[in-house]
Structure formats: structure tokens, C-alpha cells
Chains A and B, each alone.
Chain A
Amino acid sequence: MGVWTSYRLRLQRKRRQVRAFRKRRELSEIANRTRIIRPDDILVFSTLRNERIRLPFFLKYYRDLGVSHFLIVDNGSDDGGREYLAEQEDVSIWTTGASYKQSHFGVDWLNWLQRKYAHGHWTLVVDPDEFLVYPFCDTRPLRALTDWLDTSGVRSFGAMLLDMYPKGPLDAQPYREGQNPFDIACWFDSGNYMIKKNPFYGNLWIQGGPRTRAFFTDAPRRAPALNKIPLVKWDKQYTYLSSTHTILPRGLNQVYDEWGGEKASGCLLHAKFLDTFSAKAEEELKRNQHYAGGHEYRSYHLHLKDNPDLWCKWSEKYINWRQLEILGIMSKGNWA
């Protein structure tokens, strides 16, 4: 990396920090319980809008993994989700009515909160429909993973977004509050992912899966990115650029091995495709607050009219992390 590239990246990082600093005014505090955060707690950061029905399972899932505190930005929910979160003892919540798009899809808000509260903590940045699975997650708490990453001198942990879907039409099995979404959406694509390396930021750009094959066959370039780096030992100098796909400084994007070996990695099981999806897609299309002019949601809308079945003969039914590791979607690396 030349001096010039390095300088440009630094400048970009600083610019995003300033931006996050300015955007802090858009957040108004509802419940701030950050005082109870202890020095080695693992924190979850999330931005959400109208996800009330998902919240109980989301909180339970991450509490069980050993997350101690949730810091959440609510982007104008009107379904009671905000009030529900404000009651939780381990949640700090801010609300804003400002534009999601203008804040880089929530990244600026979270960058600010992370800068303020997450310095020195392992942080997990996930949406309420993303559930982290990592090697040995059935027998070892998240703390075991972060301790191991600490002793190995690793600061960031990659977890690819794995789109899960039900068999049959999306609205055939309604999701109930508190239910494990993967009781319904338990299928995934095992081997149709396409990877490119981004030479500037050094991260991988992964596309594929059911969304690409069902909604983006004509324009695969526009298919959503699946690479994510959600788990980072945060430092206030760090900043996410676009969702958790890219992070600066650039070295944190190196969650993959380039010399033939495998680094340890996990998966974010993505419970997007439930019966709630079509309503969500409709709403997001109207709000037009999403990435690339909402192209993604336009495409969903176009296909959802036919009530598609994402399932095919070659879909895999989710069992556990070991299955994902054998299929080569994630890896244990040298953690044994």
C-alpha cells in the first residue's frame, strides 16, 4: 500500500468520523443504561425500524450467547418496538426520525455510539434479523471466541450473511413473536457464492445465494453483498463504511487468508424471508431509503407479485454450524 493510498484511506476514515460526530445530534436518548457496562462486556449494536415482532427472540438469542448489553438506534418505529426495548434492563436505546439514507443506512449513528461507548470492547453489529453462528457455538459461549481471538492477536472476525428461506411461498407459515425464525426459514443455498476482492479496501465482495438467483439473474452486479465483518474488538479510531461490509483501517478487512489456508469465520443466519417480508419490502419501496436507490427492493417487489418459492431441489436444510463448516461456508480455522 503506497503512501498516497494510505493517506486517502485515512482521510476517508477521518471524514466518516466527523460525519458520525455531526450526526450525533439526530439521536435522542430514550433509555441510556451504558453506566452498567463493565470493562470486558460484549456489546451488540443495531439499527432498526418496526421490528417489534422479532425483538424477543433477537434479544434472547444474543443474551444466551453471552452478550451483556444492547445499544440500539430506533429509526422511527411506530409498532411499539421502541417502548418494548426501553423496558429491557440490558438495552440502551436512542431514537431518531432522521433519514436512514442520509446517515449511510444507519452506519453514521452506530459509528458515533461505538466511538462513544465501545472503545476496548468486543462489539457485534447486527440487524435484528441476523443471527451469528460461529464454530463451536453450541458448546462455547461468545466469550470463548473473543478470548481466543484476543490471544491470537486477531481484532476482527468475518461472518458471511447466509440467506435462509422457507420451503413453499413466503407467507405460508406465519411467524409468531418469540419463535425461532429458523423453525420456518430453515433452508439455504450451499454452494453458489461468487467472490471478488476489493483491491482498495482489501475486503471480499461476496454475492450469490437465493436472493441473487431468484431476484438478480439479469443484473448480478447489483445483487446484495453478503460479506460482513460484524465482530470487532472496537477502538474509537475504527469506523464502518457501508453497513458492516467494509471497515477502516483497512487491515481489519483481512478476515480471510490469501495463501491457501483458512481463517476462522462464522455466519450470520439471515431471517429476512418470513411472511413479514412482503409487507416490509412494500414499505421500504415507498420510503425509498435503501441502498442504490432502493434497487434491491424494487427487484423484490417485482418478483414478490408472483409469490415466489425460493426453495429448490438442491437447497440444504440447516442443522448446525458443523454442517456449514463441512459445506465450506464457514471455517474453524485453527480453533479446535
Chain B
Amino acid sequence: MSLGVVMLVHDALDRAEQLVRHWSKHDCPVVIHVDKRVKRRPYARFVNALSDLENVRFCGRHKCEWGTWSLVNASQTASELMLKSFPHVSHVFLASGSCLPLRPVSEMLRYLNARPRTNFIESVTTEDVPWTVGGLDRERFTLRFPFSWKRRRWVFDRYVNLQRRLNIKRKVPAGLVPHLGSQWWCLTRKTLSDILHDPDRESYDRYFKKVWIPDESYYQTLVRLHSTDIESRSLTLSKFDYQGKPHIFYDDHLQLLRRSDCFVARKIWPKADKLYDSFLSDSAAIMTGAEPNPGKIDRIFSKAVERRTRGRSGLFMQSRFPRMGFENGLTGTPYAIFEGFTEVFEDFEPWLERTIGGRVHGHLYAPDRVQFAGRQTDFSGALTDSVSLRDYDPRAFLTNLIWSTRGERQSFQFGPTDNQDISWDVAKDPNAYISVISGAWSVPLYRSTGNFSEIRREAARLQKIESDHLDILRSGYSRARVRVWTLADFVQNPMEPLQLILDEIGGRMNTRLTEAPKLVPLDGFGQFLQNLKNQGMQPYLMGDYPPGADPVIPQREIRKPYLIQ
């Protein structure tokens, strides 16, 4: 009983030589197929270098190209030679010139000897695989692919479209159920020779010649005809990225590969000296006897694919600058915007910080300076309080702030006196919790002691700005969580809205509100609004604020929560 290795080589011949020696030294006969594209002289040198090994053969050469029949043809030729030249071989293992054995060969032999009839080949039906590239799964088997995908993509695509339009379908030969799987297999002598000596092989070959990427389906399909003892997984650890290219292993993967307990891995970077040296040396022959467990490697590579395809939401940087609508979240973490609360409450910011925690800023988009929490001159990520820098790119200011403070909730104040350029951005951001007391901008005006005609003009301006802003928040594109109260409604009963906001934002704990911020005195505010009306302006965003009589602000008793011990 022994293991024969069929090796397909197309470059990095020095590494291939090293691998052949390794297999051969451990009594595994090797049949090598060298791509015909390899020039005559390097090929001769390669053959020459291995001429001292008795159990190594070179088979006839084919010109190989990715995704075409030539690869199957090469493995057929090599396998035939293997079966013919080495009658004692019981399992045949298909490997490439960059497949590196991670565990001692003797251990692999023992593993196979314990399972003498098992074929290790990944083989699943097309319905069940998510990893087909280019949207072709079932169609791999029903269309014709005479053109190279790598070199003549345009013709390839056009020809596929043409066949789809004309509804041309090939018939799968009777008895075959198309299966797909990793191209690297390990078959028993019996199964392999059954496949190669099948009386219908000629018709099967003719069919698979026009299938796309037949090296991932030829053996995988035919093995189902000839064996029932199939372990549908590859002994070769091989991970693919989102474009269907194999991930490459480097020196820094050494520990990861060691711990994976896989038998063979590909693809190894040819210059990864440390990997080759440590895995091909016998000193590292520690027998673990464990089942292969590539879980950790799987995770690392699937994370890499996710990073490449979905990215980190909320991040805008040199190599991730999504178009509008493809951000997959303008920001990555929730944040809260309060509009009109600092106008109505005297000590809103410190109160909010005590109640919900996180960082509570003032008006970040204020016209005179950026009001960071504690009125610092700079903040996380080295943002500064400069208005001109902020207004140069208001959106980047927000995304930078939220990105740099991941893990800490940000809240800030906003209002019609501020730069309005971010209205659309926050309205469309599902991470924004926006609470608005509409018309609250009138409270500072009412408390100011300026010329009334100027106040009236300012009131009209702010009302227009806030009205536009509210239209944006209420538009069909808005995805933020928006709550709006009119000033009149809010001052009637401020506790209820506050409780609602806190419940939604989910502060430190979901307890009843025990401490409320202090309302600014509003005596005569109704009269102020009436004066505005008398001057010909209609203040409507505040709601129905009774003129003259000031609302009686109910002092609700707050019950202590019951304690249960």
C-alpha cells in the first residue's frame, strides 16, 4: 500500500523540485506533468535535476490554461502513467507545484491506510454551492465555452449571452449528475482506474471539453458513477477569494498552518522560505494524529473577503470611498442629535451626560466654533474646532468624528443657526437618533434684548431654515429615527418625551427618569409670540402656544422605583 502523487507544475520549478524530493524520499512515487509553456531549457534542467530519483516519472506535456479542459487532460495523462508504472500504489493524490505537505507523509499514509476504500474528493451538486464566480453555476454544464476567459473575456461574455438568448442548451450525457468541487483530490486506485477505463469515457471527455472549468467538475461528477465511498472534502487546504483566486500563504502563516492539522496546503508563495524549510524538514515530524481542522484559517480568509466586499461601515478612506447609496451605513455606530433642547433647558448637556453617558457635545455645527464636549479646542482623531475646516467638508467632519470615537456614544446639539449642510446626510443615516423640539430657537430670541424688528427678521429666517430641515427629516429618503415635538407640546409635559428618548437611545440602564433638567423660565413667552404675529410674522413651528396665559407646567411626582430584594 502506498500513495502516489500526480503533480501538475507550471512555474517555480525549484520549489517543485524540492516538493518532488520530499514525496519521493518518503516512498511516494511521483508523476509530474510540466506545462508545455515552460521553455525547453528550464524543463530539461528540471528533468535533469530529478534524474537521480527512481520513483519519479515525467508524463507527456499539454499546454495548460486556467479554466480549460487542458488541466483535466494533463491530470489524465499523468494518472494513467501513475497507474501503469506503479502497480503497488493504492491511493493517488493530485497536487500542484505549490502544494505544501504540512504533516509528515507517514502520518498521511497511516490516515489513508485506515480508510483504504475512501475517495477524498469534494463533490457537491451545483444547486448547493455558493462559490461560483461570474454567475455561472448550472450553466457551466449547459453552455459551450470554447473561448478563453482569461485572454478573450469579451468574446467569452458575448458568446455566453448569445447562447442564452438563443436558448441553446447542451444535453448532459445520460447517467451523469453534474457535481462540483475543489480540483485537488485523492482517489483510490480502483476508482481512478474505473474513471479512466470507463467504456463511455470518450463521450464523457467530449462533453467535458466544452464545460467551463472542467477540472472542478470532471472527476467530481464521474466519481459518483464509480464509487459510493466518497468523503466529500479535499485533503488539500485551499481557500479562494471573492474572485475565485486562491489565497496565498506566507511565512507569517506558519503557526496558523501548523495548528490547522491539514495534510497539504496551497497555495504557498514560492519565496516563503520559512514555510518550505520548516514543513519539509523531518525535524518537525510531530505526530498529532488529529483530524484536519482548518477553522481558524477559514475565519481569517472569510474575513478578508468580507473586508474586500463589504468593508468597515462608517469608514471613508483612501481605498474605501463608496458612492452615494453604497456606504452600507454612513456611520458605523449610533449617535444622537438633539435639536432645541439646550434652548429649552438650562443645564441640558451635563444632565444628558449624567443620564445616558457617552460624550455630549454642544452645537458641533455652530457658526462661531465647533463646540466639542467640554469646549475643547480639538478632539478625537485630531479634529479641531476650526469652523472653516469643518465647513470645508461637513460630512467628512461627522463621519470622522463618529469613526474615531467608535465604542463611545456621541450626542450633539443642532439647530437652525448651525450649518445645515449635513441635514440630508443625517436624515438618511439609520444610526442617527434625531429628537427635535420644533420652534425652540425662538426661546433665545424671546430672552434677548435686541431691536424687535431685527428679532422678527431673525425669527422668520430661522423658521424658514428649520422648516426646510424638518421637511428633509420627514422626506421619503429619511432613514434616521426622528421624533419631533412642537415647543408647545413639549413644555406642557417635558418628562414624557424625555423618558421616551432615553428608552429609545437606551442609556446606561432602563430606569425611570429621576432627575429632570431645569426648564428655562418662559413667563411671557406666549405674549412674545403674539407680538411676532402682530408684526405680521406667523410663528407656526412652536405649535399652539396659548397667548397671554403661560402654560402651567405640571410638577409631576416621581415615584421611586420599587426595590425587590
Contacts and interface: CB of A to CB of B under 8 A. Distances in A.
Interface of A: 136, 139-141, 143-144, 147-148, 151-152, 158-160, 189-197, 204, 206, 210, 212-213, 217-221, 227, 255-265, 312-315, 328-336
Nearest to A265: B319
B345 interface: no
Given A151-B245, A192-B400, A262-B312, A314 B380 contact: yes
Contacts of B269: 144, 147
Interface stretch (B112-120, B301-309, B526-534, B542-550): B301-309
Nearest to A331: B319
B464 interface: no
Which of B310, B326, B392 has the most chain A CB atoms inside 10 A of its CB?
Answer: B392
A96 B364 CA distance: 51
B248 A151 contact: yes
B381 A189 contact: yes
A290 to B, nearest CB: 22
A140 B252 contact: yes
Nearest to A141: B271
Contacts of B300: 336
B251 A194 contact: no
B380 to A, nearest CB: 6
8 contacts: A151-B248, A195-B393, A212-B389, A262-B307, A262-B315, A262-B319, A330-B319, A333-B319
B323 interface: yes
Contact of A136 (B245, B252, B317, B400): B252
A152 B245 contact: yes
B277 interface: no
A255 B242 CA distance: 17
Interface of B: 241-243, 245, 247-248, 250-252, 269, 271, 300-301, 303-305, 307-313, 315-323, 326-328, 376, 378-384, 386, 388-389, 392-393, 396, 400-401, 403-404
Contacts of B328: 260
A194 B252 contact: no
A143 B313 CA distance: 31
Contact of B382 (A141, A151, A210, A221): A210
A104 to B, nearest CB: 23
A213 B241 CA distance: 40
A258 B252 contact: no
Nearest to A210: B382
Contact of A190 (B245, B381, B386): B381
B308 A334 contact: yes
B386 A328 contact: no
Contact of B308 (A139, A143, A158, A261): A261
A259 B228 CA distance: 45
Interface centre among A160, A221, A312 (most CB of B within 10 A): A312
Contacts of A263: 308, 319-320
B250 A331 contact: no
A313 B300 CA distance: 35
Given A217-B389, A221-B392, A334-B304, A148 B380 contact: no
Give the top 10 A-B pairs by smallest Cβ distance, nearest first.
Answer: A191-B381, A334-B308, A265-B319, A336-B304, A191-B404, A189-B382, A139-B252, A194-B393, A220-B392, A263-B319
A333 B242 CA distance: 11
Contacts of B311: 257, 260-262
A220 B404 contact: no
Contacts of A158: 318-319
A212 B383 CA distance: 11
A331 B382 contact: no
A189 B79 CA distance: 59
Contacts of B242: 334
Contacts of B403: 191, 328
A140 B251 contact: yes
A114 B247 CA distance: 31
B123 to A, nearest CB: 27
A312 B379 CA distance: 9
B142 to A, nearest CB: 28
B13 to A, nearest CB: 15
Nearest to B401: A191
A262 B381 contact: no
Given A136-B252, A139-B252, 6 more contacts: A193-B400, A195-B316, A213-B384, A255-B319, A262-B312, A333-B304
Contact of A217 (B251, B271, B384): B384
A312 B321 contact: no
Contact of A139 (B251, B301, B323): B251
Given A140-B251, A334-B307, A213 B319 contact: no
A197 B396 CA distance: 13
A259 B321 contact: no
Contacts of B303: 336
Contacts of B326: 258-260
B318 A148 contact: no
Contacts of B305: 334
Nearest to B321: A256
Nearest to A313: B378
Given A152-B243, A194-B392, A263-B320, A328 B250 contact: no
Contact of B247 (A139, A259, A328, A336): A336
Which interface residue of B241, B269, B317 has the most chain A CB atoms within 10 A? B317
Contacts of A331: 307, 317, 319-320
A206 B310 CA distance: 22
B445 to A, nearest CB: 31
Given A139-B251, A194-B393, A260 B327 contact: yes
Nearest to A136: B252
A336 B251 CA distance: 12
Contacts of A192: 381-384, 389, 400
A333 B308 contact: yes
A330 B389 contact: no
B312 A328 contact: yes
Given A190-B404, A191-B404, A217-B388, A259 B322 contact: yes
Contact of B307 (A144, A210, A332): A332
B10 to A, nearest CB: 13
B426 to A, nearest CB: 18
A143 B309 contact: no
> In this complex, which of B311, B316, B321, B384 has the most chain A Cβ atoms within 10 angstroms of its Cβ?
B321
Given A218-B388, A262-B307, A191 B400 contact: yes
A336 B243 contact: no
Nearest to A314: B382
